[in-house]
C-alpha cells in the first residue's frame, strides 16, 4: 500500500497563509487582497445596518450616534473604506476580464513536471492599469474629503 503524496504547503496557517511569500507572485497578492477587501466590506455591511437601525429609535438616538461618529478618525476610516471599495471593484473587473480570457494569453501544454506560468504581459498591463486608475480615484476621494469634510466638522 503506497502513501498518499504530501502537500508542499499545508493550510494550517489560515488567513496568514494567504500572504506566504514562498509561493506568492503579484497576481496571488492581488487575489489575497481581494479576499481581505471582501471580508472588510461584509464587516462594514453589518456596521452600516446597525447605523441605519439606530434611526428606528427616533431622533434622539440618531443624533447621539451622529455626534459619536463625527470625528477625524471616522473620516479617515471612511476614506479607507473608499480605498477598499475602489480596489475590490477594479480588481473584480480585472478578474472578470481574466475569466473571459481577455487577459490570460495563450494556454500552455500540460507537460509534466508542471510549472506555474508567470503572468502574461496583458495581465501585468491590467494590474498596472488597475493601480493607476485606483490611484487617480483615491486622490480624487482625498481631495473631496479635504474640501467637504472640514466644513462638516463640528466647531
Query: What confidence tens digit (pLDDT) does each residue in 35-58 have?
Result: 999 999 999 999 899 888 888 888
Query: Average pLDDT for residues 58-85, to the nearest whole number?
Result: 87
* Mean pLDDT, residues 50-70: 87
Tell me whether residue 10 is in a domain: no
Q: Is residue 109 domain-resident?
A: no
Whether 36 is in a domain gets the answer yes
- What is the predicted pLDDT for the residue at 81? 93
Instruction: Give the pLDDT of residue 68.
Output: 85
CB atoms within 10 A of CB 78: 15
Residue 144: CATH number of its domain: 1.20.1300.10
Residue 15 forms part of a structural domain: no
Is the model's pLDDT at 64 over the cut of 70?
yes
Do 42 and 108 meet the contact criterion of CB atoms below 8 Å apart?
Answer: no
Q: Tell the burial category of 94 from Cβ atoms under 10 Å away from its Cβ (0-12, 13-18, 19+).
A: buried
What is the number of domains present in the chain?
1
pLDDT of residue 9: 53
Q: Is residue 8 situated within a structural domain?
A: no
Please check whether residue 134 lies inside any domain of the structure.
yes
Please give the C-alpha separations between residue 103 and each of 37, 79, 106, 132, in angstroms, as whole numbers.
Answer: 22, 30, 10, 17
In a domain, 123, yes or no: yes
What percentage of the chain carries pLDDT values higher than 90? Answer: 18
In-domain check, residue 66: yes
Domain containing 33 equals 23-103+114-152
The pLDDT of residue 44 is 94
Which has more confidence, 68 or 132? 132
pTM for this prediction: 0.71
Amino acid at each position: 500500500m503506497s502513501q498518499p503524496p504530501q502537500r508542499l504547503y499545508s493550510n494550517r496557517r489560515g488567513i496568514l497563509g494567504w500572504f506566504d511569500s514562498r509561493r506568492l507572485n503579484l497576481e496571488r497578492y492581488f487575489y489575497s487582497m481581494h479576499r481581505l477587501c471582501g471580508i472588510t466590506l461584509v464587516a462594514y455591511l453589518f456596521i452600516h445596518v446597525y447605523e441605519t437601525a439606530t434611526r428606528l429609535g427616533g431622533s434622539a438616538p440618531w443624533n447621539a450616534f451622529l455626534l459619536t461618529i463625527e470625528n477625524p478618525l471616522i473620516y479617515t476610516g471612511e476614506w479607507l473604506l473608499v480605498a477598499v471599495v475602489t480596489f475590490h471593484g477594479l480588481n473584480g473587473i480585472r478578474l472578470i476580464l481574466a475569466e473571459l480570457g481577455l487577459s490570460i494569453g495563450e494556454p500552455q501544454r500540460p507537460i509534466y513536471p508542471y510549472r506555474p506560468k508567470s503572468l502574461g504581459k496583458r495581465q501585468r498591463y491590467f494590474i498596472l492599469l488597475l493601480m493607476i486608475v485606483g490611484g487617480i480615484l483615491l486622490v480624487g476621494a482625498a481631495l473631496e474629503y479635504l474640501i467637504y469634510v472640514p466644513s462638516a466638522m463640528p466647531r
